[in-house]
Amino acid sequence: MGKTFRRVVKVLGLGAVAGTVVGFVRSVRRQPEPPTSGEATWDPIAPSRPAPERNGPVEFAESVNDDATPDEASEPS
């Protein structure tokens, strides 16, 4: 093998070792905690409403074949 090939392999190997070391150091270091005040200073996105009560029988939707065209899906089986 030529000198150039060995040099390329050596540089790539050193790059792989350096990348592994940098990745390990970054994974071990702790990320700083973001500052928190403990209180929300904005209004809620949606007003809170109680869940509606449901009475009576339950109707289930018919399952539709995914491969069917819209015309085939609307036809009763």
Which position has the higher pLDDT, 7 or 2?
Answer: 7
Question: What does the CA dihedral 14, 16, 22, 24 come to, rounded to 10 degrees?
Answer: -130
What CA–CA distance (Å, rounded) separates 25 from 31?
A: 12
- Tens of pLDDT, residue by residue over 48-77, are 777 778 787 877 777 766 565 555 555 555
pLDDT at position 29: 87
Give residue-wise pLDDT tens across range 14-53: 999 999 999 999 888 888 887 877 777 777 777 777 777 8
Q: Which residues, 6 or more positions from 72, have their beta carbon under 8 angstroms from its beta carbon?
A: 65
Confidence (pLDDT) at 65: 63
* pLDDT score at 10: 95
What is the rounded distance in angstroms from the CA atom of residue 21 to the CA atom of residue 29? 12
Instruction: Indicate the pTM of the whole model.
Output: 0.39
